[in-house]
Copies of this chain bind each other. A is one copy, B any other.
């Protein structure tokens, strides 16, 4: 049986967000203007900067006191010392500080500069990752579900570099209503054998698909709808994707 096609749909009209804004409310307003209705099975992919700004996860650079360690890392790599300092404050571990600043956050997420971002941040400000993006995704899912009476999934995304491959791709830092993984275990391959090891991170793939429209610059399309994907539901959230120290292939 052939699968149906999947659509990746832009949601124009989302304004620049400020602290305290209700993201679900802004999404519903934008949908009404088009007009378009959400339907059960839709996945909303939301750029994390939108969530972070609404949650006040923004730091003013001039208020940051730069430590000796941050100064050293910044000078050795020609990085911005303030951005390094904020990245260090946000991190639990520094994985690498030469040629790149790769850190591990309190929740286990390993990323570049602790996800501290100057792009799409107001002048002189730095946008952090949401404190708990899975929780943020859950809240938005609940609010959208109540207002629309449809079962909507939510993914919060960020762009990340990769150790072995050049160029960033979009990944999921939070999710709700969609399971982090799909399991092909127990399914059969082309030759009718049971697949043994097949764990696919479907939320990262959906985030990457959405970035094709979302872009990273001034398109002003921080919310994208993925429609028609037959994803697996479940309780595994974006935190389930982080490898533990024992599973990390670089410890």
Contacts and interface: CB of A to CB of B under 8 A. Distances in A.
Interface of A: 2-10, 12, 16, 96, 99-100, 102, 110, 119-123, 159, 162-171, 180-181, 184, 187-193, 195, 198-202, 204-206, 208-209, 211-213, 215-221, 229, 231, 240-243, 247-250
A59 to B, nearest CB: 16
A5 to B, nearest CB: 5
B208 A169 contact: yes
A119 B165 CA distance: 24
B8 A6 contact: yes
Contacts of A167: 180-181, 199-202, 204, 241
B169 A198 contact: no
Nearest to A250: B163
B187 A217 contact: yes
A40 B73 CA distance: 48
B10 A7 contact: no
Given A3-B221, A162-B162, 13 more contacts: A6-B7, A6-B213, A7-B7, A102-B249, A120-B189, A165-B204, A167-B202, A169-B204, A169-B208, A198-B217, A205-B209, A205-B211, A206-B212
Contacts of A122: 191
Contact of A212 (B110, B166, B205, B217): B205
A55 to B, nearest CB: 17
Highest count of chain B CB atoms <10 Å: which of A2, A159, A208, A213: A208
A95 to B, nearest CB: 9
A246 to B, nearest CB: 9
A47 B213 CA distance: 23
A237 B63 CA distance: 44
Count chain B CB atoms within 10 A of each CB in A6, A16, A171, A219 and give the residue with the most. A6
Given A120-B191, A249-B102, A212 B202 contact: yes
A198 B119 contact: yes
Given A6-B213, A209-B205, A164 B100 contact: no
Given A102-B249, A171-B165, A3 B10 contact: yes
Nearest to A222: B190
A162 to B, nearest CB: 7
A200 B3 contact: no
A217 B188 contact: yes
